[in-house]
Structure 1
Amino acid sequence: MSNIHRKRSLPPLSALPAFEAAARHQSFSRAAEELHLTHGAISRAVAQIEERLGVDLFVRRNRRVWLTAAGERLLQATGTALDGLDHAVEDIHRHDGTSPILTVSCEPSLAMRWLMPRLGAFRQANPDLNIDLRLAGGPVDLLSDGCDVAIRRADYGISEQYITTHLWAEYAGPVCDPGCWQDILGSDLSNARWLHTRTRPDAWDMWKRASAIDVAPASEQYFDHFFFALQAAVNRLGTAIGPLPLVYDDLAAGRLIAPHGMVQTGFDYVLITLDPPGRDPRIALFFDWLMAEAGDMDKGVLPDAVFGKAPI
């Protein structure tokens, strides 16, 4: 066997994405914005490559840059290489159905108040598949974040590159401790302290419009996250807007009541995937389980009035 090994004359590989973005935009500033780096970081990365190659890749004049012939040639090669790597990573990610781990991104409040209490039963029923749960909300990049699926409330524009599969419609309404409702508030919502969350500051206004109930609070209190506002309602600190499924367990156990029932908010919870769920046996298993769990919310555990079918 030959002891002669090929020595690659490559520039610093960590600098190539910065060069490619700068060359594609013909702008160091726009490359910095795209990669969330500073202008100086882009400039240093390009300088590293130029020093290694011994040629200029850009003509710099009056705070503008243009590619040289060498720069054009390197851009073509770099773009092809980075595209190939991106496609390979995506292909590996899409076809990893034999992995014993399913990485799930889920909104924090939904995860803490609904999903996590049920994952023990899922693991017991499916001991060969482990759920790696990541708490995050809003837009998701499944490939960059290393996630197989995401569960989201569809209240923002989801990229068309993803498959969105409907899980359930969201219902919401005021929720509070049953003793507070009778003994302290006198069954009158205007006597309540309304609990707000800064992550959904318009929740009360949306419910008032949807339910055609015009009432004002006795006082108000704000929390940073939905989870805290709902826990405050459980602890008799006030009345919060509680969405299903976030308050399902509390309603079923009698820790909370929904004295005015619940109405649809117009938003749905969805499963976000790269491909239809059935193509990956792990995702198909998890999706079927999610739908079965969601179906339990319609099986009469809660009063019909909770779903706005009759007044309480």
Structure 2
Amino acid sequence: MRKKIPSLNALTIFEAAARQQSFTRAAEELALTQGAVCRQIAGLEEYLCLPLFARVKKRVILTPAGRQYAERIRVHIARIERDTLELMAQQDGGGVLELAVVPTFATQWLIPRMAEFNQERPDITVNLHTKTDAFLFSETSFHAAIHSGNVAWPGTSGDFLISEGDTMPVCSPALLERFAKQVRKQAQKQASGKPRPAREIGMPEIAALPLLHLTTRLNDWRTWFELHEYRNDVSAVKGARYELFTMLVSAAVAGLGVALIPRFMVQAELDAGTLVIPLERSLSGTTGYYLAYPEEHASFAPLTAFRQWLLEVAGKP
């Protein structure tokens, strides 16, 4: 059955006339005669069975229906133009890659390295979109995705990139210093025993700090305490919860508590001194990061180039 879609030529002329609020200026913009513009608009109005413009003396004014239709059509015409230009840009392997990626991996690992790829392939644009849950590629415009998990994405081709590595407790230096002062005061009240140095704390002190949690990993603190033979069932589940690692990192930097975060995600903050490791006790991670893509995208030139670069970068120490 034929779809109810007007000609693209008529829609393009209508969009120009609506934007210019003038048939004459639309004709000049499109290098047409004013008569050609008038005929296309009249034909479109006949096709739609309603007026798009009101003729007032020598002026044309959009009707309410015409204004609404113009706003919608403008979006679609711009999208068609963008898609066409992106397709034309795929010559010689260039183009646009639509990539879904988990947020913290994007901000803490991928984006800091993207300048290198941009220098190597300035003809490829990588658009990053955050996605935390699995999805069907057939229902999206994504060419590929970087996800975290214990196995590759079912039903896709893909590559292992990096392991999440050890998870460490981290907190702000200010929070640690405040807590250390409290420890010293308590120790000074005791008749015997020397107060601990400012940053020498152990498992009991960690348990007494505000603990921050990732919503999807609420058992991490309990597992961490059990691994290091310190029973802390009650306080291990207390504390604020955050949906994303990026939020957890920000909360730790802000001094809201101590968080368990993979070291690679906070290496920049550790190097800058905005976060510190109060106690060198880790929790081994079993999660990895994978590049996943449907088989039909495997030969897509921008993805092929990005995949090759990504695997090289991921393999560097």
TM-score normalized by structure 2? 0.55
Residue 268 (str. 1) matches residue 288 (str. 2): yes
Contact 1:175 1:240 survives alignment (8 Å): yes
Cα 1:292–1:211 shift into 2, 3 Å: farther
Aligned length: 208
Matched residue type, 2:288: D
Contact 1:104 1:131 survives alignment (8 Å): yes
Q: 1-side partners of 2:122 and 2:211: how far apart?
A: 43
Residue 128 (str. 1) matches residue 119 (str. 2): no
Contact 2:168 2:261 survives alignment (8 Å): yes
The answer for the alignment partner of 2:212 in structure 1 is: 195
Which of the numbers 245, 249, 257 marks the counterpart of 1:230? 249
Matched residue type, 2:216: T
Cα offset for 1:12? 7.1
The answer for the alignment partner of 2:183 in structure 1 is: none
Which of the numbers 160, 164, 172 marks the counterpart of 1:170? 164
The answer for the alignment partner of 1:286 in structure 2 is: 306
Cα offset for 1:220? 1.9
Cα 1:280–1:211 shift into 2, 3 Å: farther
Matched residue type, 1:243: P
Unaligned runs of 5+ in 1: 1-9, 14-91, 299-312
Cα 1:123–1:279 shift into 2, 3 Å: same
Cα offset for 1:181? 3.1
Q: 2-side partners of 1:181 and 1:264: how far apart?
A: 24
Residue 119 (str. 1) matches residue 130 (str. 2): no
Q: 2-side partners of 1:238 and 1:153: how far apart?
A: 25
Contact 1:167 1:269 survives alignment (8 Å): yes
Cα 1:224–1:263 shift into 2, 3 Å: closer
Q: 2-side partners of 1:118 and 1:11: how far apart?
A: 49
Cα 1:291–1:12 shift into 2, 3 Å: closer
Cα 1:264–1:117 shift into 2, 3 Å: same
RMSD, aligned CA? 3.5
Cα 1:165–1:212 shift into 2, 3 Å: farther
Deviations, residues 137-172 of structure 1 (Å, cap 9, x unaligned): 12122232111110001158832x201311111121
Unaligned runs of 5+ in 2: 5-86, 181-198
Is 271-280 or 130-139 further displaced after alignment?
271-280
Is 207-216 or 131-140 further displaced after alignment?
207-216
Deviations, residues 266-301 of structure 1 (Å, cap 9, x unaligned): 1111111224997554334323433444455x4xxx
Matched residue type, 2:134: P
Residue 256 (str. 1) matches residue 269 (str. 2): no
Matched residue type, 2:289: Y
2:265 match: secondary structure:
coil
Higher helix share: 2
**Higher relative CO (CA 8 A, sep ≥ 6), structure 1 or 2?**
2
Q: Report sequence identity in percent.
A: 23
Cα 1:275–1:264 shift into 2, 3 Å: farther
1:241 match: secondary structure:
strand
2:287 match: secondary structure:
strand
Matched residue type, 2:157: I
Contact 1:106 1:150 survives alignment (8 Å): yes
The answer for the alignment partner of 2:153 in structure 1 is: 158
Matched residue type, 2:102: E
Deviations, residues 23-71 of structure 1 (Å, cap 9, x unaligned): xxxxxxxxxxxxxxxxxxxxxxxxxxxxxxxxxxxxxxxxxxxxxxxxx
